[in-house]
Amino acid sequence: MVGVPESHTGWTFVTNHARVLAAIADNPNIRIRDIAARCRLTERAVQRIISDLEQDGYLSHTRDGRTNTYRIQPDKVLRHPAEAGLTVASLLSLLVQDETDRSRESRVPSPSLVDVNDAR
């Protein structure tokens, strides 16, 4: 799979549930095998995560032959009290790039890091 980063050890900022949700948001017809490769998880782990997301109403799917089409509930509020009021859509807006942004980023060099004091 093109563009898949190498595996990573140690902590990260994004949970596996958020990664799976972002992969589905990027392609609602994505296969579990492809989600697993993209997120560096086993297929069984992806199945469990999808099941968690479906049980709590963040995600649903319809089956058409051998293909699943996933539907994310963008207005569903995130679970943790620290994110009270934030929706799935707001999370995904940070994690999923628009196709136009991707093509532009492939042509334009990425900007240098901004000093923390400049960001205020």
What lies within 8 Å, CB to CB, of 57 at 6+ separation is 73, 76
Q: Are 89 and 102 in contact (CB under 8 A)?
A: no
Cβ-contact 62, 29 below 8 angstroms:
no
Q: Which residues pair with 87 in a beta bridge?
A: 77
The structure's pTM equals: 0.74
Q: What is the mean pLDDT of each run of 10 residues along the chain (120 residues)?
A: 58 92 96 96 97 97 94 94 90 76 51 46
Q: What residues contact residue 84 under an 8 Å CB cut-off, 6+ apart?
A: 77, 78
